[in-house]
Structure 1
Amino acid sequence: MNLSYWELKNWFTNVDYTVVGSGIVGLHTALRLRERFPQSKILVLEKGMLPEGASTKNAGFACFGSLSEIIDDLKSHSEEEVIQLIQKRWQGLQLLRKNLGDQAIDFKPYGGYELFLKEDESTYNECLQKMPFINDILKPLFKTEVFEKNVDRFGFGNIQEYTIFNPFEAQIDTGNMMQALLKEVHAQNILILNNQTVNGFHDGPNGVEISVNDYGFTTQKLLFATNGFAGELTKHAVKPARAQVLITEPIPNLDIKGTFHLDKGYYYFRNIGDRILFGGGRNLDFEGETTTEFGQTQRIQNKLEELLSTVILPNQEYTIAHRWSGIMGLGSHKKPIVEQLSENVYCGVRLGGMGVAIGSLIGQELADLV
């Protein structure tokens, strides 16, 4: 690597902490380290031109789980585990708002809705039946009932009579949030290097030797915040999960406001001004979407367009403006992994598609392991 004396001295010498990943978790980790160690040298390495995983590619939902998702989680997790998960997500959202401010992230408390397709009678009935129980177990945390029945007022098509409303959900502007975080990191004299792929590392007696692109350097501590890309380097059971998304051109007189969940959260949509952002469909091809490759597939895009036409915008004309995808990190358990891997290496990964909600908190917990 053709590095000068100046480059080696200023960027790669006497590095105290190296954070891998400049998404929500990585940047909160770096900020917390700065708070704890004001004189330290902190370096953030990012594989992409922008944060590579889901931090700048998500839908901007400030949510902690739809009713059907919570009921579903109770089938594979204990009641205590599910309550702890929701509590963490809720605390994380409050921390994000406190750290950056509602104006900076364009926080809009429109509330969230869950819709049920006409043919999904069983999930619909189960949710209506179990809603009082879920409200009861969440009451100590929210001090009031979280979920309530609402008649659809948006003119959706092919859905059950009632939607489930959650007043605690909100929208944020994902781009604004990440820009605000990046500004804060730069203001705290934390170095960020983009287009840096970590190929390997070795935890030795003098710190951690890191191999990046075609050069190497030593850091005292190494912290991984790579979520969906974590499996390879941290050897953890984190599966990548691609999420495909599309957005329409502005739609005149669009009356839809809020965040919306469909089919146990496998589909989700919201308004961004007069546009509709719509994503999901991973459940159509779990195997194919367990990938770190970005891109779209015909099968999922066709389904998104079908639901857009028949459910979200029936009898309305629209044009699709743009499509993209992001990579989440999932596992057999929804609890994030925040742990020490060796003497000087740590990780905070597997956010389960809830990065906006818990990213700030996981970053803080990761930095506090040091």
Structure 2
Amino acid sequence: MIATLSGTRILVADDQPDAARTFCSPLRAAGAKIQHVSDGHAAWDAIGSQPFDLALVDMKMPPEEWGGLWLLEQLANTRIRLPVLVLSGEGGKLEVIKAMRLGAADWVDKDSAAEQLHPACAKLLAEANAAALQNAAEQLPTPIAYRFARYLRATTTETQVSEGLHTIEAILRLAACIGMAASRPCPIPGLALSKLYRPSMGTWRDIAFALGRQAQTNTTAKRIVQALAPDTPSRTTVDALIKLRNDIFHGRTAPKSSDRDTIDWLLRRFAHRATTSLQLSLGVATSMRFDGTSYTLDTLLVRGTATPQPATHHVDRPIVDGTILLLDEAGSFADLTPLFASATSPAGGVRCVQFEGILEGADSGGGPIVKYSFGHGGDEDLPNPPPNTWPAVHQWTTS
């Protein structure tokens, strides 16, 4: 029996496209979605622009004689940990050893790839999916990491479905909030201002999916959407789960084991893609120093469910203490005000708070007042919420 790879996204880097199509036929028959590129540069660009679950990399291809090693070296210098299975031909054993040292997960002899590739890919993906949820709870930004932690603690079908739906909503919400905070405003079709007073899961879905289609949307926001729902079938699954949540809330149905399995599959796929391919970090600015030529910024990274951890970055302009930033390894950042803010928890620690809606009324200048909730997983009330307004909100809405 062929193990299903349904919905798995596999990048194949090989400069012999006809041979690649032949040995990938069993993967395609098992349901995998294959994307071919012909060299390491194209593979590097593809990995940086869209989600994959696994990469198959021919050792002997451009650039240089052993382009597969070049690609692995680029990946090793980042936080990208996409599983890579290398393909080696005659005389490439030394390069395979180098590839494994650079982080390749496994290798297959190219001459026997048609027979060995499918079971090797299935094994790697099974291992990755088994670890994905725990990795998400430990590594992803706190607003979604704590939801993964709660989902992992659920033990009954009812609680697994409930916590799983909350986790999917948190992912959509994070993508929507990052997108609206870090992108040039553009009206979202069908988004009335009234929907932002108390956004539903469906509202977050509508915003996140719409932002994913807009050219000017922040790249990280797009990548979050792609990791969750990169194609029509997965978006249809998200739509069905939103309907399920509404039906459960209104007493029209009860959670079933099949619902739990669908949610678990979706969350494991997202968690795997997000922890291996997205360089996604949120930080709270705490202090800044200027040496006459550059700024050194101290932050607290809000990652996982643990206490925020200190980090240092070099930036090109001043940042106000308490600002929530979207950070990347290249040193660039995006200010996420006012969709995200910092606040002090009842225990005295600095926490990230996230947009939850708009309060009734407006400030003295007529701007909509933002309502926040903790993004760290605590159930306590938010004391002294930051008094932020959202002047650009009307530029995102149609009425």
- The two structures share one fold, judged by TM-score above 0.5: no
Q: Which has the higher strand share?
A: 1
Q: Which of these two proteins has the greater Rg computed from alpha carbons? A: 2
Greater relative contact order: 1 or 2 (C-alpha under 8 angstroms, separation 6 or more)? Answer: 1
TM-score when normalising by structure 2: 0.21
Point out the structure with the larger helix share. Answer: 2
